[in-house]
Amino acid sequence: MTESKSDILKSAKLTTIELFARAGGLALGLKSAGFRCRAALEFNKLACDTLRANWQNDDESRSPLIYETDVRNVDYCLLREWVGEIDGVVGGPPCQPFSAGGVARGKNDARNMFPEAVRAVSELRPKFFLFENVKGLLRESFSDYFRYIVLQLTYPALCDREGEDWREHFKRLRHKAQKESASDDPTTYRVGYRLLDAADYGAPQRRFRVFIVGIRSDFRLTPEFPNPTCSSDKKIWDQWVSGEYWDEHKVAIKARPEITRTAKKRAAELRRQYGLFPPPGARWATVRDALRGLPDPRMRNDVLNHEYRPGARPYPGHTGSAYDEPSKALKAGVHGAPGGENMIAFPNGLYRYYTPREAARIQSFPDSYVFCGPTSETMRQIGNAVPVKLAESVGNSLSRQLRGRVMSKDKQFVPALIPFSPLVRKNLDENLSVCIATRNKMEFSGLSLLV
Protein backbone atom coordinates (compact mmCIF):
# COMPACT_ATOMS: atom_id res chain seq x y z
CA MET A 1 0.00 0.00 0.00
CA THR A 2 1.41 3.39 -1.00
CA GLU A 3 1.97 5.82 1.84
CA SER A 4 0.45 9.28 1.50
CA LYS A 5 2.19 12.51 2.34
CA SER A 6 0.10 12.79 5.49
CA ASP A 7 1.64 9.57 6.86
CA ILE A 8 5.04 11.19 7.26
CA LEU A 9 3.55 14.22 9.01
CA LYS A 10 2.10 12.06 11.80
CA SER A 11 5.53 10.89 12.94
CA ALA A 12 7.07 12.81 15.84
CA LYS A 13 10.54 12.23 14.37
CA LEU A 14 11.73 11.10 10.97
CA THR A 15 13.50 7.78 11.39
CA THR A 16 16.64 6.76 9.53
CA ILE A 17 19.14 4.00 8.90
CA GLU A 18 22.66 5.34 8.45
CA LEU A 19 25.26 3.65 6.26
CA PHE A 20 28.99 4.36 6.72
CA ALA A 21 28.23 6.08 10.04
CA ARG A 22 31.88 6.79 10.90
CA ALA A 23 32.16 8.75 14.18
CA GLY A 24 28.56 9.97 14.07
CA GLY A 25 28.79 13.58 12.82
CA LEU A 26 25.97 13.18 10.31
CA ALA A 27 23.77 11.35 12.83
CA LEU A 28 24.38 13.99 15.50
CA GLY A 29 23.52 16.85 13.14
CA LEU A 30 20.39 15.12 11.88
CA LYS A 31 19.33 14.36 15.44
CA SER A 32 19.45 18.08 16.21
CA ALA A 33 17.26 18.61 13.15
CA GLY A 34 14.59 16.23 14.44
CA PHE A 35 15.62 12.92 12.91
CA ARG A 36 15.98 9.70 14.87
CA CYS A 37 18.59 7.14 13.86
CA ARG A 38 17.25 3.61 14.30
CA ALA A 39 20.40 1.79 13.16
CA ALA A 40 23.96 2.71 12.19
CA LEU A 41 26.19 0.52 10.00
CA GLU A 42 29.95 1.00 10.24
CA PHE A 43 32.91 -1.25 9.36
CA ASN A 44 35.65 0.35 11.51
CA LYS A 45 35.82 -1.11 15.03
CA LEU A 46 37.11 2.04 16.76
CA ALA A 47 34.48 4.19 15.07
CA CYS A 48 31.85 1.74 16.36
CA ASP A 49 33.39 2.04 19.84
CA THR A 50 33.00 5.82 19.53
CA LEU A 51 29.34 5.45 18.54
CA ARG A 52 28.68 3.08 21.45
CA ALA A 53 30.42 5.38 23.93
CA ASN A 54 28.24 8.31 22.91
CA TRP A 55 24.95 6.56 22.19
CA GLN A 56 24.69 4.15 25.11
CA ASN A 57 23.16 6.90 27.27
CA ASP A 58 21.12 8.39 24.46
CA ASP A 59 18.12 10.33 25.73
CA GLU A 60 15.82 8.58 23.24
CA SER A 61 13.57 5.84 24.58
CA ARG A 62 15.39 3.45 22.27
CA SER A 63 19.07 3.99 21.43
CA PRO A 64 20.18 3.33 17.84
CA LEU A 65 21.38 -0.18 17.05
CA ILE A 66 25.04 -0.24 15.99
CA TYR A 67 26.12 -2.88 13.51
CA GLU A 68 29.86 -3.36 13.12
CA THR A 69 29.73 -4.80 9.64
CA ASP A 70 30.55 -4.44 5.97
CA VAL A 71 27.46 -3.03 4.25
CA ARG A 72 28.05 -5.40 1.34
CA ASN A 73 26.97 -8.23 3.63
CA VAL A 74 23.77 -6.59 4.88
CA ASP A 75 20.35 -8.09 4.17
CA TYR A 76 18.11 -5.01 4.30
CA CYS A 77 14.88 -6.98 4.47
CA LEU A 78 16.16 -8.68 7.61
CA LEU A 79 17.47 -5.38 8.98
CA ARG A 80 14.04 -3.81 8.55
CA GLU A 81 12.52 -6.66 10.57
CA TRP A 82 14.89 -5.83 13.42
CA VAL A 83 14.56 -2.04 13.45
CA GLY A 84 11.02 -1.59 12.08
CA GLU A 85 9.88 0.74 9.32
CA ILE A 86 12.13 3.70 8.60
CA ASP A 87 11.56 6.97 6.75
CA GLY A 88 15.01 7.54 5.27
CA VAL A 89 18.42 6.16 4.34
CA VAL A 90 21.39 8.45 4.98
CA GLY A 91 25.16 8.19 4.95
CA GLY A 92 28.49 9.17 3.50
CA PRO A 93 29.97 6.54 1.18
CA PRO A 94 33.79 6.47 1.56
CA CYS A 95 35.17 9.58 -0.10
CA GLN A 96 38.68 8.35 -0.96
CA PRO A 97 37.71 7.14 -4.47
CA PHE A 98 36.81 10.74 -5.42
CA SER A 99 39.20 12.67 -3.19
CA ALA A 100 42.31 14.47 -4.43
CA GLY A 101 44.11 13.10 -1.38
CA GLY A 102 42.91 9.54 -1.91
CA VAL A 103 44.35 8.71 -5.38
CA ALA A 104 40.95 9.53 -6.98
CA ARG A 105 40.39 6.26 -8.80
CA GLY A 106 36.64 6.80 -8.75
CA LYS A 107 34.49 3.89 -9.92
CA ASN A 108 37.58 1.68 -10.24
CA ASP A 109 38.42 2.00 -6.53
CA ALA A 110 37.42 -1.00 -4.38
CA ARG A 111 36.39 1.50 -1.69
CA ASN A 112 33.65 2.96 -3.93
CA MET A 113 30.49 2.21 -1.96
CA PHE A 114 27.94 4.16 -4.00
CA PRO A 115 26.64 0.87 -5.47
CA GLU A 116 25.80 -0.18 -1.89
CA ALA A 117 24.05 3.12 -1.20
CA VAL A 118 21.93 2.55 -4.31
CA ARG A 119 21.20 -1.04 -3.22
CA ALA A 120 19.97 0.17 0.18
CA VAL A 121 17.57 2.61 -1.50
CA SER A 122 16.42 -0.03 -3.98
CA GLU A 123 15.67 -2.63 -1.29
CA LEU A 124 14.29 -0.37 1.47
CA ARG A 125 12.33 2.07 -0.74
CA PRO A 126 12.50 4.85 1.89
CA LYS A 127 10.55 8.10 1.73
CA PHE A 128 13.81 10.01 1.32
CA PHE A 129 17.57 9.55 1.19
CA LEU A 130 20.53 11.83 1.89
CA PHE A 131 24.12 11.06 0.91
CA GLU A 132 27.22 13.24 1.16
CA ASN A 133 30.67 13.10 -0.39
CA VAL A 134 33.70 15.22 -1.28
CA LYS A 135 33.53 17.89 -3.97
CA GLY A 136 35.92 15.77 -6.07
CA LEU A 137 32.84 13.74 -7.00
CA LEU A 138 31.97 16.66 -9.31
CA ARG A 139 35.25 16.54 -11.22
CA GLU A 140 34.96 16.54 -14.98
CA SER A 141 36.77 13.18 -15.08
CA PHE A 142 33.96 11.67 -12.99
CA SER A 143 31.08 13.47 -14.72
CA ASP A 144 29.66 10.43 -16.51
CA TYR A 145 29.87 8.31 -13.39
CA PHE A 146 28.24 11.05 -11.30
CA ARG A 147 25.35 11.24 -13.77
CA TYR A 148 25.13 7.47 -13.50
CA ILE A 149 24.90 7.68 -9.69
CA VAL A 150 22.11 10.28 -9.89
CA LEU A 151 20.14 8.24 -12.43
CA GLN A 152 20.49 5.06 -10.36
CA LEU A 153 19.10 6.90 -7.35
CA THR A 154 16.30 8.36 -9.48
CA TYR A 155 15.27 4.91 -10.78
CA PRO A 156 16.52 2.44 -8.13
CA ALA A 157 14.08 -0.24 -9.35
CA LEU A 158 15.89 -0.38 -12.71
CA CYS A 159 18.80 -2.44 -11.41
CA ASP A 160 21.88 -3.49 -13.32
CA ARG A 161 21.81 -6.95 -14.85
CA GLU A 162 24.22 -9.67 -13.86
CA GLY A 163 27.51 -9.11 -15.66
CA GLU A 164 26.33 -5.81 -17.16
CA ASP A 165 28.93 -3.08 -17.57
CA TRP A 166 28.02 0.15 -15.79
CA ARG A 167 28.04 2.05 -19.09
CA GLU A 168 25.42 -0.29 -20.52
CA HIS A 169 23.31 0.18 -17.42
CA PHE A 170 23.85 3.94 -17.70
CA LYS A 171 22.55 3.79 -21.28
CA ARG A 172 19.35 2.03 -20.16
CA LEU A 173 18.82 4.55 -17.37
CA ARG A 174 19.26 7.47 -19.78
CA HIS A 175 16.78 5.91 -22.15
CA LYS A 176 14.23 5.64 -19.34
CA ALA A 177 14.82 9.25 -18.30
CA GLN A 178 14.30 10.45 -21.89
CA LYS A 179 11.01 8.57 -22.19
CA GLU A 180 9.44 9.48 -18.84
CA SER A 181 7.86 12.72 -17.74
CA ALA A 182 7.29 13.76 -14.14
CA SER A 183 5.15 11.24 -12.31
CA ASP A 184 4.04 10.20 -8.86
CA ASP A 185 5.55 6.74 -9.22
CA PRO A 186 6.54 5.61 -5.69
CA THR A 187 9.38 3.49 -7.12
CA THR A 188 11.20 6.61 -8.36
CA TYR A 189 12.75 9.64 -6.66
CA ARG A 190 13.12 13.33 -7.39
CA VAL A 191 16.81 13.92 -6.87
CA GLY A 192 18.80 17.09 -6.33
CA TYR A 193 22.37 17.83 -5.33
CA ARG A 194 24.33 20.81 -4.09
CA LEU A 195 27.92 21.64 -3.17
CA LEU A 196 27.92 23.29 0.26
CA ASP A 197 30.69 24.91 2.31
CA ALA A 198 30.53 24.12 6.04
CA ALA A 199 31.77 27.65 6.89
CA ASP A 200 28.55 29.07 5.43
CA TYR A 201 26.54 27.17 8.06
CA GLY A 202 28.44 27.96 11.26
CA ALA A 203 31.25 25.39 11.26
CA PRO A 204 34.70 27.01 11.72
CA GLN A 205 36.09 25.28 8.62
CA ARG A 206 36.21 25.70 4.84
CA ARG A 207 34.98 22.22 4.03
CA PHE A 208 33.10 21.57 0.79
CA ARG A 209 30.74 18.63 0.62
CA VAL A 210 28.37 17.41 -2.08
CA PHE A 211 24.93 16.49 -0.74
CA ILE A 212 22.66 14.28 -2.84
CA VAL A 213 19.05 14.26 -1.64
CA GLY A 214 16.12 12.32 -3.02
CA ILE A 215 12.45 12.41 -2.07
CA ARG A 216 10.11 9.68 -3.26
CA SER A 217 8.13 10.90 -6.25
CA ASP A 218 4.68 10.32 -4.73
CA PHE A 219 5.39 13.09 -2.21
CA ARG A 220 5.61 15.58 -5.11
CA LEU A 221 8.49 17.48 -3.50
CA THR A 222 11.64 18.73 -5.19
CA PRO A 223 14.68 18.60 -2.88
CA GLU A 224 15.78 22.00 -1.62
CA PHE A 225 18.90 23.04 0.25
CA PRO A 226 19.57 25.54 3.03
CA ASN A 227 20.62 29.10 2.33
CA PRO A 228 23.93 30.20 3.90
CA THR A 229 23.65 31.76 7.35
CA CYS A 230 27.27 32.96 7.72
CA SER A 231 29.59 34.90 5.43
CA SER A 232 33.14 35.99 4.83
CA ASP A 233 31.88 39.58 4.43
CA LYS A 234 30.53 39.64 7.98
CA LYS A 235 33.84 38.26 9.28
CA ILE A 236 35.79 40.94 7.44
CA TRP A 237 33.41 43.60 8.75
CA ASP A 238 33.75 42.41 12.35
CA GLN A 239 37.53 42.24 12.06
CA TRP A 240 38.50 45.23 9.93
CA VAL A 241 35.55 47.64 9.93
CA SER A 242 33.93 47.54 13.39
CA GLY A 243 36.76 45.74 15.20
CA GLU A 244 34.12 43.82 17.17
CA TYR A 245 35.92 40.52 16.59
CA TRP A 246 39.13 41.67 18.30
CA ASP A 247 37.27 43.30 21.16
CA GLU A 248 35.26 40.13 21.71
CA HIS A 249 38.47 38.12 22.02
CA LYS A 250 40.28 40.87 23.98
CA VAL A 251 43.10 41.07 21.44
CA ALA A 252 45.17 44.23 21.83
CA ILE A 253 45.83 46.33 18.72
CA LYS A 254 49.54 45.47 18.80
CA ALA A 255 48.76 41.74 18.95
CA ARG A 256 46.45 41.74 15.94
CA PRO A 257 47.74 40.30 12.65
CA GLU A 258 48.41 42.64 9.75
CA ILE A 259 45.44 43.00 7.43
CA THR A 260 45.96 41.36 4.05
CA ARG A 261 45.68 43.34 0.84
CA THR A 262 42.60 41.33 -0.17
CA ALA A 263 40.84 41.88 3.16
CA LYS A 264 41.71 45.59 3.11
CA LYS A 265 40.19 46.03 -0.34
CA ARG A 266 37.04 44.11 0.62
CA ALA A 267 36.64 46.06 3.87
CA ALA A 268 36.68 49.33 1.89
CA GLU A 269 34.04 47.95 -0.48
CA LEU A 270 31.85 46.88 2.45
CA ARG A 271 32.09 50.37 4.02
CA ARG A 272 30.86 51.90 0.78
CA GLN A 273 28.13 49.29 0.35
CA TYR A 274 26.72 49.16 3.89
CA GLY A 275 27.72 52.47 5.47
CA LEU A 276 27.08 52.30 9.21
CA PHE A 277 25.26 48.97 9.15
CA PRO A 278 26.96 45.53 8.98
CA PRO A 279 26.26 42.90 6.31
CA PRO A 280 23.35 40.58 7.19
CA GLY A 281 23.77 37.26 8.93
CA ALA A 282 26.52 35.87 11.13
CA ARG A 283 30.22 35.88 10.42
CA TRP A 284 32.29 32.91 9.40
CA ALA A 285 33.62 31.32 12.58
CA THR A 286 37.41 31.23 12.89
CA VAL A 287 39.87 28.89 14.57
CA ARG A 288 40.16 31.41 17.41
CA ASP A 289 36.36 31.36 17.80
CA ALA A 290 36.30 27.56 17.84
CA LEU A 291 39.03 27.07 20.44
CA ARG A 292 37.81 29.74 22.85
CA GLY A 293 37.82 28.47 26.44
CA LEU A 294 40.04 25.43 25.87
CA PRO A 295 43.21 25.28 27.98
CA ASP A 296 46.67 25.21 26.41
CA PRO A 297 47.21 21.49 25.72
CA ARG A 298 50.88 21.82 26.76
CA MET A 299 49.63 22.28 30.32
CA ARG A 300 48.04 19.50 32.35
CA ASN A 301 44.28 19.46 31.87
CA ASP A 302 41.29 17.18 32.28
CA VAL A 303 39.62 17.93 28.92
CA LEU A 304 38.63 14.82 26.96
CA ASN A 305 40.89 14.04 23.95
CA HIS A 306 42.99 17.18 24.49
CA GLU A 307 46.55 15.85 24.40
CA TYR A 308 49.49 17.86 23.05
CA ARG A 309 51.55 16.47 20.17
CA PRO A 310 54.97 18.06 19.49
CA GLY A 311 56.76 18.41 16.18
CA ALA A 312 54.43 20.61 14.10
CA ARG A 313 56.15 22.48 11.29
CA PRO A 314 55.04 23.93 7.96
CA TYR A 315 56.31 22.70 4.63
CA PRO A 316 55.36 23.45 1.00
CA GLY A 317 51.67 22.81 0.46
CA HIS A 318 51.01 22.31 4.19
CA THR A 319 51.10 25.65 5.94
CA GLY A 320 48.47 25.11 8.61
CA SER A 321 45.27 27.06 9.31
CA ALA A 322 45.43 30.78 10.09
CA TYR A 323 44.20 31.44 13.63
CA ASP A 324 41.82 34.22 12.60
CA GLU A 325 40.30 32.47 9.59
CA PRO A 326 38.10 29.38 9.29
CA SER A 327 40.24 26.25 9.42
CA LYS A 328 41.33 24.54 6.27
CA ALA A 329 39.50 21.25 5.72
CA LEU A 330 40.63 18.64 8.23
CA LYS A 331 41.81 15.45 6.60
CA ALA A 332 41.92 11.90 7.88
CA GLY A 333 45.10 10.80 6.17
CA VAL A 334 45.74 7.29 4.89
CA HIS A 335 47.61 6.35 8.07
CA GLY A 336 45.79 8.53 10.58
CA ALA A 337 46.54 12.20 11.26
CA PRO A 338 48.36 13.93 8.36
CA GLY A 339 51.19 16.35 9.06
CA GLY A 340 50.88 19.99 8.05
CA GLU A 341 47.22 19.86 7.13
CA ASN A 342 45.91 19.56 10.70
CA MET A 343 47.81 22.29 12.49
CA ILE A 344 47.30 25.88 13.62
CA ALA A 345 49.33 28.81 12.28
CA PHE A 346 49.38 31.41 15.06
CA PRO A 347 49.83 35.15 14.31
CA ASN A 348 53.22 35.13 16.10
CA GLY A 349 54.65 32.67 13.59
CA LEU A 350 54.40 29.56 15.78
CA TYR A 351 52.71 26.33 14.74
CA ARG A 352 50.99 23.57 16.67
CA TYR A 353 49.03 20.44 15.80
CA TYR A 354 45.35 20.41 16.57
CA THR A 355 44.55 18.16 19.50
CA PRO A 356 41.70 15.72 18.87
CA ARG A 357 39.41 17.91 21.00
CA GLU A 358 40.32 21.01 19.00
CA ALA A 359 39.78 19.13 15.74
CA ALA A 360 36.41 17.97 17.08
CA ARG A 361 35.45 21.59 17.74
CA ILE A 362 36.49 22.45 14.17
CA GLN A 363 34.03 19.74 13.08
CA SER A 364 31.47 21.28 15.52
CA PHE A 365 31.20 18.26 17.83
CA PRO A 366 30.21 19.10 21.43
CA ASP A 367 32.91 18.82 24.11
CA SER A 368 31.01 15.95 25.73
CA TYR A 369 31.52 13.77 22.64
CA VAL A 370 34.09 11.02 23.27
CA PHE A 371 36.42 9.58 20.62
CA CYS A 372 37.85 6.10 21.18
CA GLY A 373 41.29 4.85 20.19
CA PRO A 374 44.84 6.24 19.98
CA THR A 375 45.40 9.79 18.78
CA SER A 376 46.09 8.82 15.15
CA GLU A 377 42.83 6.88 15.00
CA THR A 378 40.73 9.53 16.75
CA MET A 379 42.08 12.12 14.32
CA ARG A 380 41.16 9.80 11.45
CA GLN A 381 37.61 9.49 12.79
CA ILE A 382 37.29 13.25 13.23
CA GLY A 383 38.81 13.99 9.82
CA ASN A 384 36.33 11.59 8.17
CA ALA A 385 33.30 13.08 9.90
CA VAL A 386 30.57 15.30 8.49
CA PRO A 387 30.61 18.70 10.29
CA VAL A 388 27.74 18.53 12.75
CA LYS A 389 26.43 22.04 12.03
CA LEU A 390 26.45 21.42 8.28
CA ALA A 391 24.52 18.16 8.74
CA GLU A 392 22.04 19.95 11.01
CA SER A 393 21.44 22.71 8.43
CA VAL A 394 20.81 20.23 5.61
CA GLY A 395 18.62 18.16 7.94
CA ASN A 396 16.54 21.17 8.97
CA SER A 397 15.94 22.06 5.33
CA LEU A 398 14.87 18.51 4.47
CA SER A 399 12.71 18.16 7.59
CA ARG A 400 10.82 21.36 6.85
CA GLN A 401 10.08 20.12 3.35
CA LEU A 402 8.92 16.70 4.43
CA ARG A 403 6.70 18.18 7.11
CA GLY A 404 5.03 20.41 4.54
CA ARG A 405 6.20 23.79 5.79
CA VAL A 406 8.30 24.85 2.83
CA MET A 407 6.70 23.91 -0.46
CA SER A 408 3.98 26.33 -1.50
CA LYS A 409 0.85 24.87 -3.04
CA ASP A 410 1.38 26.56 -6.35
CA LYS A 411 5.07 25.67 -6.73
CA GLN A 412 5.36 23.58 -9.87
CA PHE A 413 7.74 20.63 -9.95
CA VAL A 414 10.28 20.77 -12.77
CA PRO A 415 11.55 17.24 -13.48
CA ALA A 416 15.30 16.83 -13.30
CA LEU A 417 17.13 14.89 -16.01
CA ILE A 418 14.28 15.27 -18.56
CA PRO A 419 15.21 17.93 -21.16
CA PHE A 420 11.87 18.50 -22.92
CA SER A 421 11.34 22.24 -23.21
CA PRO A 422 13.47 25.43 -22.98
CA LEU A 423 11.79 26.12 -19.62
CA VAL A 424 12.84 22.71 -18.31
CA ARG A 425 16.36 23.22 -19.65
CA LYS A 426 16.57 26.63 -17.95
CA ASN A 427 15.39 25.27 -14.61
CA LEU A 428 17.61 22.23 -14.89
CA ASP A 429 20.68 24.42 -15.39
CA GLU A 430 19.69 26.58 -12.44
CA ASN A 431 18.82 23.71 -10.09
CA LEU A 432 21.89 21.63 -10.90
CA SER A 433 24.42 24.47 -10.85
CA VAL A 434 27.28 23.91 -8.46
CA CYS A 435 27.97 26.88 -6.21
CA ILE A 436 31.70 27.02 -5.59
CA ALA A 437 32.65 29.55 -2.91
CA THR A 438 35.98 31.34 -3.12
CA ARG A 439 37.28 33.79 -0.56
CA ASN A 440 35.95 36.94 -2.23
CA LYS A 441 33.34 35.94 -4.75
CA MET A 442 30.89 33.26 -5.78
CA GLU A 443 31.55 31.37 -8.99
CA PHE A 444 28.92 29.23 -10.64
CA SER A 445 29.81 26.26 -12.81
CA GLY A 446 27.16 23.90 -14.14
CA LEU A 447 27.65 20.18 -14.45
CA SER A 448 24.97 19.32 -16.97
CA LEU A 449 23.00 16.17 -16.38
CA LEU A 450 21.11 16.39 -19.68
CA VAL A 451 20.84 13.01 -21.32
Residue 144 phi/psi, 5-degree rounding, is -65, -45
H-assigned helices in 155-218: 166-179
Per the CB < 8 A criterion, the answer to whether 198 and 285 are in contact is no
* Calculated CA dihedral for residues 391, 208, 342, 344, nearest 10 degrees: -90
Q: How far apart are CA 241 and CA 162, in angstroms?
A: 63
The amino acid present at 245, given as its one-letter code, is Y
State whether residue 49 is helix, strand or coil: helix
Catalytic residue among 37, 48, 95, 230: 95
Beta bridge partners of 352: 344
C-alpha 88/C-alpha 128 separation (Å) is: 5
DSSP string, 152-167: HHHSTTSPPPTT--HH
Helix, strand, coil share (%) of the chain residues, nearest 5: 40, 15, 45
Burial of 174 (0-12, 13-18, 19+ CB in 10 A): middle
151 neighbors 174 (Cβ within 8 angstroms): yes
Q: Can 230 be counted among the known catalytic residues?
A: no
**Catalytic amino acids?**
95
